[in-house]
A = this chain, B = another copy of it.
């Protein structure tokens, strides 16, 4: 039996999703809790591999259970997990899925949010939860960012937005939407795609901040895409501001 779990986590104290020996990861923490809860070792598969320090408002993972696993009604699973999980990780829902369901390969699209707090003075409540940007923004920052963001939409080769050294060969992805909103000093980038290359959202966030500073316009963004070269794009924004926000199947 396979169950799709939805998770929420504050990434600050996790070394990302993926199991790695000797460090605290979400996958390991969840696997340990599941073993206590279901009374057996469980195979847990995630929808993506978030990096160290990256957060999730909605992460999807499947847990595979044998016939002899402890039976827990599905609507009780989040509450049953709660006492076995640390305060920075929660299971928010549980749904049975078909045995051949795969949480990574069956994704229709994922939405990420990237938050930038643009102010010389930090907000103590946002430490580790935003990119605290202390530089000056151009007066038309939001318009410039949105003009550049719009260029990213569509089926394109995003090789320029993949971390140098990645082994992936097919770098074509389809971005459904990419928009920027501003609420005072908080800038929120929202981007959805059928898949993301390694560090893609963080490089896009870094590049959109070049636009925010008046150093990039829509033509420049088109040239970056056309270059198919990581060096053409902006810096990689820090993990702190990144949230996996929605996973749609």
Measuring CB to CB, which residues of chain A are less than 8 angstroms from any residue of chain B? 8-10, 55, 78-79, 81-82, 87-92, 120-125, 127-129, 134
Which B residues are CB-close (under 8 A) to A82?
Answer: 120-122, 134
* Chain B nearest Cβ from A27, distance in angstroms: 15
Chain A interface main SS type:
mixed
Asked whether B91 lies within 8 Å of A124 as measured between CB atoms, the reply is: no
**Are B124 and A8 in contact, CB atoms less than 8 angstroms apart?**
yes
- CB-defined contacts of A88 to chain B, threshold 8 Å: 124, 127
Complex copy number for this chain: 2
5 closest residue pairs by CB, A with B: A87-B127, A79-B120, A10-B124, A88-B124, A78-B121
Q: Is the CB of A8 within 8 A of B87?
A: no
Whether the Cβ atoms of B87 and A121 lie closer than 8 Å is no
Contact of A92 among B79, B92, B121 (CB under 8 A): B121
Task: Name the distance in Å between A57's Cβ and chain B's nearest Cβ.
Answer: 8
Distance of A134 Cα from B87 Cα, bound (Å) = 13
- How distant is the Cα of A129 from the Cα of B87 in the complex, in angstroms? 12
Q: What is the chain B residue whose CB lies nearest that of A55?
A: B125
Q: Which residues in B have their C-beta under 8 angstroms from that of A121? A: 78-79, 81-82, 90-92
